[in-house]
């Protein structure tokens, strides 16, 4: 059996999204699992739709996710060049299309756009299969072709699909699939501008680059008979066809932005970790067996096989991605978390992403800017407070808001906390006492802070800590919920606590 050779072949006409990055991930995992080769090829034959900078974004997306390729664009290899426009300039496609014309497996066609539109309208009205099944050009005489060329009519080259037969492929996931060849239209191989189409260039390059598995989305199943016939026309061995399941939203509809489908690098800007995203994406339409869900990149590669791919649609569940991401964050050591956060905040796209109009949480940009300033001013303080919020966040971006109250001179009080607790009779004296005890304390480690609070409750005959803990929390953080009070007190330190209790005491006395 030949070593596995697979290719990720994006078109630089738009940013990589979840669907096509899953395509790259599956191929990367298969190559890793089998010791095969993953190739990156740029299919840029649709010149009208090219987006400047898209090639760089494709590479940046793959590198952020650690999706490797051993051959191809940017790294070279024995089948250079790996950009199709350059392969066209070398005459690779022209030589082979001449071979098809000579063997009768292709023919020139000169239909105008108006003629093609009229043909499709006629097919729709008469409930006929929609597509190009030959017109006058499939069986045109050499004289008709010569006259059309003499008139300067735009010429395309079409594939001549065999008629009155059954076309069969064996799909790795779906098994045997059959088509009546009379329902398969003749696709364009070479466009009027001389550029090859996907139907031609991709299959030619797959053969020349010795691709063993054509892995792609199930939306390409309808094109499979055309591609199988093309391999047959050249007398080439067909690669294995693997049509991966479509990705849908949780509601069963086509995946869209409202489900969370967005450009891959936006997930980075939003605070998702690459290992969480590839773990999540790998499980959309593929199962490792059993009930495993959290799998690091090495575990994914070791477990991946084509047998685990499913024919039924995969579901993009943003809640599940957030759950996974939170688990990965909680698994970090403090130092690793600190380094990841620094890297995230310093990434050039992060603040730009959160400053866009229409973001889910427009305050995040300000919170992250505040955190960035604190990292420059006092990195050790930021490092000390991260473990307090590590259990409570699900993305790196969440640290901006979660840490905000640590980093300001005066906290903003939530109305319900201030109204509920600052009006209690014992609270002004509580704040005064705690401020004095903190000022006099020799040490303020977590255990020391807990002792101060418990001693106060005991001294005032309070059997439950709630009436002490809750107003202290609001005074120090402005919130009614948050990290453990004693840990928070220790991290805030003497001066911050004294200042906050002093302010809260004045408010509490004015409430009284």
Q: How far is CA 273 from the centre of its chain?
A: 10
Are 487 and 444 members of one domain?
Answer: yes
Of 376, 406, 366, whose CA–CA distance to 388 is shortest? Answer: 406
User: Cα Rg for the chain, rounded, in angstroms?
Assistant: 32
> For position 151, which CATH number holds?
3.40.50.620
Are 215 and 121 members of one domain?
Answer: yes
Average pLDDT value for residue range 206-214: 98
Percent of the chain with pLDDT over 70: 99
The number of distinct structural domains making up the chain is 4
Residue 260 has pLDDT above 80, yes or no: no
Give 163-182 pLDDT, tens digit per residue.
Answer: 999 999 999 999 999 999 99
Q: In the prediction, which pLDDT does 240 show? A: 98
Percent of the chain with pLDDT over 90: 90
Residue 280 has pLDDT above 90, yes or no: yes
Q: In the prediction, which pLDDT does 419 show? A: 86
Are 118 and 226 members of one domain?
Answer: yes
In 3-state terms, what secondary structure has residue 88?
A: helix
**What is the pLDDT confidence band of residue 358, given thresholds at 50, 70 and 90?**
confident
Place of tokens 């009205």: 125
**Range of the structural domain that residue 436 is part of:** 415-511
Are 46 and 28 members of one domain?
Answer: yes
**What is the pLDDT confidence band of residue 512, given thresholds at 50, 70 and 90?**
low
- Among 27, 88, 257, 481, the active-site one is 257
Q: In the prediction, which pLDDT does 251 show? A: 85
Q: In the prediction, which pLDDT does 314 show? A: 92
Residue 278 domain flag: yes
C-alpha to C-alpha distance for 7 and 73, rounded to whole angstroms: 11
Are 311 and 454 members of one domain?
Answer: no
Give 341-352 pLDDT, tens digit per residue.
Answer: 999 999 999 999
Of 227, 322, 190, 341, whose CA–CA distance to 267 is shortest? Answer: 322
Identify which has the larger pLDDT, 252 or 334.
334
Residue 421 has pLDDT above 60, yes or no: yes
> Which of 316, 351, 373 is the last residue in one of the domains?
316
Are 97 and 60 members of one domain?
Answer: no
Structure token pair of residue 43: 């299919």
Are 161 and 235 members of one domain?
Answer: yes
Alpha helices by DSSP H, 104-209:
113-125, 142-150, 198-208
Give 429-439 pLDDT, tens digit per residue.
Answer: 999 999 999 99
Residue 257 designated active-site: yes
C-alpha to C-alpha distance for 110 and 106, rounded to whole angstroms: 13
**Number of neighbouring beta carbons within 10 Å of residue 118:** 12
Q: How far is CA 21 from the centre of its chain?
A: 7
- Rounded mean pLDDT of the chain? 94
Q: In what helix (H) or strand (E) does residue 73 lie, and over which residues does it extend? A: none
Average pLDDT value for residue range 300-316: 95
Residue 372 has pLDDT above 90, yes or no: yes
C-alpha to C-alpha distance for 474 and 490, rounded to whole angstroms: 16
Q: In the prediction, which pLDDT does 235 show? A: 98
> For position 466, which CATH number holds?
1.10.10.350
> Which of 244, 260, 283 is the last residue in one of the domains?
244
Q: In the prediction, which pLDDT does 35 show? A: 97
Residue 445 domain flag: yes
Are 131 and 223 members of one domain?
Answer: yes
> Which of 244, 279, 300 is the last residue in one of the domains?
244
Average pLDDT value for residue range 476-504: 96
**Number of neighbouring beta carbons within 10 Å of residue 169:** 19
Residue 281 domain flag: yes
């Amino acid at each position: 059996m030949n070593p596995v050779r697979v290719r990720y072949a994006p078109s630089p006409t738009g940013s990589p999204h979840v669907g096509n990055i899953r395509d790259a991930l599956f191929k990367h995992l298969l190559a890793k699992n089998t010791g095969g080769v993953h190739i990156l090829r740029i299919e840029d034959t649709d010149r009208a739709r090219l987006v400047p900078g898209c090639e760089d974004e494709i590479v940046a997306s793959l590198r952020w996710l650690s999706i490797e390729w051993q051959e191809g664009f940017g790294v070279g290899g024995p089948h250079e060049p790996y950009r199709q426009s350059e392969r066209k300039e070398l005459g690779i496609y022209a030589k082979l299309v001449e071979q098809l014309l000579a063997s009768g497996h292709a023919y020139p066609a000169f239909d105008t756009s108006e003629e093609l539109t009229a043909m499709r309208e006629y097919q729709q009205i008469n409930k006929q299969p929609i597509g190009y099944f030959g017109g006058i050009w499939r069986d045109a005489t050499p004289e008709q072709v010569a006259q059309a060329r003499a008139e300067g009519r735009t010429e395309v080259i079409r594939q001549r699909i065999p008629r009155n037969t059954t076309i069969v492929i064996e799909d790795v996931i779906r098994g045997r699939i059959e088509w009546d060849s009379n329902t398969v239209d003749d696709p364009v191989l070479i466009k009027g501008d001389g550029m090859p189409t996907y139907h031609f260039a991709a299959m030619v390059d797959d053969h020349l680059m010795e691709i063993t598995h054509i892995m792609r989305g199930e939306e390409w199943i309808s094109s499979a008979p055309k591609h199988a016939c093309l391999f047959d026309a050249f007398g080439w061995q067909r690669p294995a066809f693997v049509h991966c399941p479509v990705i849908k939203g949780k509601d069963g509809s086509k995946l869209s932005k409202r489900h969370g489908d967005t450009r891959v690098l936006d997930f980075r800007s939003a605070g998702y970790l690459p290992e969480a995203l590839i773990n999540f994406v790998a499980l959309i339409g593929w199962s490792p067996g059993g009930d495993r869900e959290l799998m690091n990149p090495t575990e994914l590669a070791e477990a991946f096989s084509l047998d685990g791919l499913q024919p039924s649609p995969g579901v993009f569940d943003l809640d599940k991605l957030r759950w996974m991401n939170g688990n990965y964050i909680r698994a970090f050591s403090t130092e690793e978390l600190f380094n990841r956060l620094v890297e995230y905040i310093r990434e050039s796209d992060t603040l730009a992403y959160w400053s866009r109009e229409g973001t889910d949480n427009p305050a995040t940009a300000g919170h992250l800017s505040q955190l960035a300033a604190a990292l420059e001013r006092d990195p050790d303080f930021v490092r000390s407070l991260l473990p307090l919020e590590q259990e409570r966040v699900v993305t790196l971006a969440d640290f901006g808001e979660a840490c905000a109250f640590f980093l300001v001179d005066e906290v903003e009080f939530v109305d319900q906390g201030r109204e509920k607790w600052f009006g209690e009779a014992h609270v002004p004296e509580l704040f005064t006492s705690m401020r004095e005890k903190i000022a006099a304390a020799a040490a303020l480690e977590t255990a020391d802070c807990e002792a101060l609070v418990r001693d106060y409750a005991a001294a005032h005959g309070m059997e439950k800590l709630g009436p002490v803990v809750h107003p202290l929390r609001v005074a120090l953080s402005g919130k009614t919920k948050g990290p453990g009070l004693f840990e928070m007190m220790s991290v805030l330190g003497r001066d911050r606590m004294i200042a906050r209790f002093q302010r809260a005491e004045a408010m509490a006395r004015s409430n009284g």
